[in-house]
Structure 1
Amino acid sequence: MQTGGGILRQPMSVWATAFAAVVAFMGIGLVDPILPSIAQGLKATPSQVSLLFTSYFLVTAVAMLITGWVSSRIGGKRTLLAGLALVIVFAALAGTSTSVAELVGFRAGWGLGNALFVATALAVIVGAASGGAESAIILYEAALGLGISAGPLVGALLGDWNWRAPFFGTATLMAVGFVLILTLLKAAPGPSARTALSAPIRALAHGGLSTTAFTALFYNFAFFTILAFTPFILGMSPYGIGAVFFGWGVCVALASVSGAPPLQRRVGSVSVLHLALALLAVLQAGIAVFAVAGMNAGVVVCVVLSGVPIGLNNTVFTESAMEVSDAPRPVASAGYNFVRWTGGALAPFVATKLGEEIGVAVPYVLGAVCCFVGMMILYLRRHHLRTLARVDADHARHDAAAAPAR
């Protein structure tokens, strides 16, 4: 009889990569609790500080286009180590910043390292994990959820002491991840073929992958509106902001790992995306209403609950991008993430600028609109996603065959 703990029985190399992935994803939410402190310490406006996200994700998005080209020439392990080394250097440099411009620049370098690591980590975990690609993706998304939830907590604990401390803390943890991967991950055989620089863009010509990617662009705009702008309207200490986004991150992790797979089996991947985008739009509207009314408790509840649809979307979008086309997984991932992270790059500055100049509700209304645009793309281009229905059916049959006889 097959036990349910198969996903946890993984080689040490997988756990080493997953640990480093947790720390890499911590970098996304790490600065959230200290955004107001950074603005105060560097005498900057909220929109200027939001460029920390914009530079990070813009470089991450563009760098995704070269990750396959690099890894197919130097191998997955060396690409992981190169990415980690860049994160260590630029995270440490970020802690030494004396101006917003310096900090934004160092975050851009951090984004380059993050792109090399994150894109390659998914391929490495899928290749080395036991239990097949689906188990590997769930494990990867668990690392994402854990990192996103831990990031605000670590940022709050260290940032309450000094806003520079979280950056030095990340560099230290990444150094640990570097050593673990260096010693525990065996170098895979050399790539059988080299990936062309144009491969990720060419992969986006596939209707299913482009549909998934551009829907995810609008979803990510909504996602990062919450992450980047909300700390400025909560009016809390770093501990308070960290606690709110820790609760949000726990919801992301639980929905990613425990919520998405059974929902996909029951209603299908595309339906889960529609459901999650609609729920995220409702919660964005709730944040807008409560923010205008000055009801901080309502804002907090909606922000924490928004982790549920975000967790569902993260897992289903990632699986869909891997399965919907016939492109090699690393190539599909690079093309998808290039488009997806562009939304993450645009949202922080645009949302914060709108909130500063027009009103605190406007960024969340725009986020809700983006969710509905994403749903419209899914609906109008649904014929490109028929492959996902077959994949869902195959997974359901596999689960039924693996279930113990009653």
Structure 2
Amino acid sequence: MSSSTQTTDSISSQNNLLTKEKSSFFSQPKAVWAVFFACIIAFMGLGLVDPILVAISKQLNATPSQVTLLFTSYNGVMAVAMLITGMISSRLGIKWTLLTGIVIIAIFAGLGGLSNNIWALVGFRGGWGLGNALFVATALAAIVSLSTSGTAKAIILYEAAIGLGISVGPLLGGWLGGMSWRGPFFGVSCLMVIAFIGLITLMPNTKNKQKGVQVKISIKDPFLALKHRSLLIFGVGAALYNFGFFTLLAYAPFVMGLDEHGIGFVFLGWGVLLAVTSVFTAPILQRWMGTIKAMCLMLTLFALVLLAMGIWTSTQWVVIAAVIIAGALLGNNNTLITTAVMNSAPVERATASAAYSFLRFIGGALAPYFAGKLAEWFNQSVPFYVGAAFVLLSVIFIACNHKHVKHVDEAYASH
């Protein structure tokens, strides 16, 4: 074969690879789309409850701080359960761990819809959190391992599913909640049955393997993973900014002065911006500024948004606009920090995700309850001031530890 022919073949091969790389983001195996759809439904649960918080408070005679426990029990159980997700998935396999999580969510969401008092509802919401922990930590690893487009694009796909779920959730919650506060709980239960059918039909059985050897993850592995300074920094930083995130998510509905449909539409706008920015603008910011600088910028702007909500709490349009704008900032940040976590430490991805999620959901568990209590102790502005302070603290913490996390951009470039 002549050198010119070899050169032509080489160029043709490279062009084919480039074409495949460009199209591979959407040309995924059916199993990836099955997990993608299930992720959308699972993350509906996060925003689905927002439009009905006020209705639950009125109909179950509960205070705002008691109602915000729906987020506290959900996130608290999820945080602790994250520590065992790797151990379970390494034994059951990714497929059956996902299916187990879906079944648990379906059961406890249904039981929540049958509740007649706030404490039973809080308990069942905790059970929902257990199912979500099994699903969420494993879903990221599933999409990354099954995807044909590389780690970075797989993470963007995962964040897109989160964004779609969070955006559609409040709209569905507002629509079903307009009929009864129980409607969203039964709705999630039914949708999870559909997700179960999709996964059990389309997803292959997978095991965690390294060099063909079955890997058994220990309950100690997430703790051992946190010995990596970079992973610990991102986890603590996420716990701090999640304090602001869940203050907005759990307490903003109480100061909007809107009905279920109105709150649903506001959080629809929030979720749409979150979804769009997580997919389209986060990668641009990452290339333009670098992961850490872009992350710190988004979090600083989010702290300013929360500060504005604290200053103008009684001005309805300011609160509504601030919530929607926050969606764009959080969408960018979620993709940035998730990508950083996946590239931060030389540990198995499911273990890294579990260790990181354990820390970040601690912030998500504490914030909702304290937001309600701060409003009872002081006034409705204080929760937003405190949330802003925690988000700003996360920026300072990450910036002060920049030398330990700056390597994530080099890891990102290699994928």
Could you state the TM-score of these two structures normalised by the residue count of structure 2? 0.93
Equivalent residue runs for 1:371-382 within 5 Å? 371-382=391-402
d(CA) in 2 for partners of 1:273, 1:92? 38
CA deviation after TM superposition for structure 1 residue 189, in Å: 4.5
1:297 to 317, 326, 344: 317
Which residue of the partner structure matches residue 222 of structure 2? 200
Report the counterpart of residue 31 of structure 2 in structure 1.
Answer: 13
List per-residue Cα deviations over 1:232-270 (Å, max 9, x = no partner).
Answer: 011111000001000000111111111110110111000
Q: Which residue of 1 aligns with 2:350?
A: 330
Which one of the candidate residues 263, 282, 286 is aligned to 2:308? 286
Q: Which has the larger radius of gyration?
A: 2
Q: Distance in 2 between matches of 1:389 and 1:91?
A: 40
Query: Given residue 163 of structure 1, which amino acid in structure 2 is its aligned partner?
Result: W
* Letter of the 1:43 counterpart: N
Q: Match of 1:240?
A: 262
Question: Hey, what's the Cα distance between the residues in 2 that align with 1:93 and 1:152?
Answer: 20
2:128 equivalent in structure 1: 110
Mean CA deviation greater in 118-127 or 184-193: 184-193
Tell me, yes or no, if structure 1 residue 123 matches structure 2 residue 141.
yes
Query: d(CA) in 1 for partners of 2:319 and 2:126?
Result: 30
The range that moved more, 385-394 or 260-269, is 385-394
What is the CA-CA distance between 1:393 and the residue it aligns to?
4.1
Equivalent residue number for residue 399 of structure 1: none
Q: Could you tell me which residue of structure 1 aligns to residue 53 of structure 2?
A: 35
Distance 2:23 2:65 in 1: 45
The Cα offsets for residues 265-319 of structure 1, whole Å up to 9 and x where unpaired, read as: 111000011101110011011111111xx21011111110011111111111111
Q: How far 1:373 sits from its partner (Å)?
A: 0.7
The residue number in structure 2 matching 1:264 is 286
Structure 1 segments of 4+ aligned residues over 6 angstroms from their partners:
none
Residue pairs, 1:220-231, within 5 angstroms: 220-231=242-253
5+ residue gaps, structure 1, are 396-406
Helix, strand or coil at the partner of 1:131:
coil
Residue matched to 1:341: 361
Contact 2:152–2:412, Cα closer than 8 Å, also in 1: no
* Distance (Å, rounded) in 2 between the aligned partners of 1:145 and 1:390: 26
Greater Cα offset, 373-382 or 48-57:
373-382
Partner of 1:368: helix, strand, or coil? helix
Shift of 1:204: 0.6
Determine the structure 2 residue equivalent to 1:164: 182
- For 2:109, the equivalent position in structure 1 comes to 91
Letter in 2 for 1:221: F
**2:195 aligned with 1:177:** yes
| CA contact 1:264–1:392 (8 Å) conserved in 2 | no
Query: What do the CA deviations read for 1:153-176 (whole angstroms, capped 9, x no partner)?
Result: 000000000100110000000000
Q: CA RMSD in A?
A: 1.1
The Cα shift of 1:392 comes to: 4.2
Distance 2:107 2:340 in 1: 34
Partners of 2:81 and 2:374 in 1: CA distance = 28
Q: How many residues align?
A: 393
Other-structure match for 1:252: 274
The offset of 1:371, in angstroms, is 1.4
Does 2:367 match 1:368? no
1:193, 1:393 → 2: CA distance? 28
- Cα distance between partner residues in 2 of 1:284 and 1:138: 26
Residue 386 of structure 1, CA deviation = 2.5
Quote the residue 1:275 is aligned against.
Answer: 297
Q: Give the one of 65, 70, 94 matched to 1:47.
A: 65
2: CA distance, partners of 1:105 / 1:143: 27
Give the counterpart letter for 1:225 in structure 2.
T
Q: Percent identity?
A: 46
Aligned partners of 1:271 and 1:66: how far apart in 2? 33
Given candidates 51, 54, 57, the residue that maps to 2:75 is 57
- Higher mean C-alpha deviation, range 386-395 or range 10-19: 386-395
Three-state SS of the structure 2 residue aligned to 1:187 is coil
Contact 2:94–2:207 (8 Å) recurs in 1: no
Q: 1:319 to 1:159 in 2, by over 3 A?
A: same
Kept after mapping to 1: 8 A contact 2:270/2:325: yes
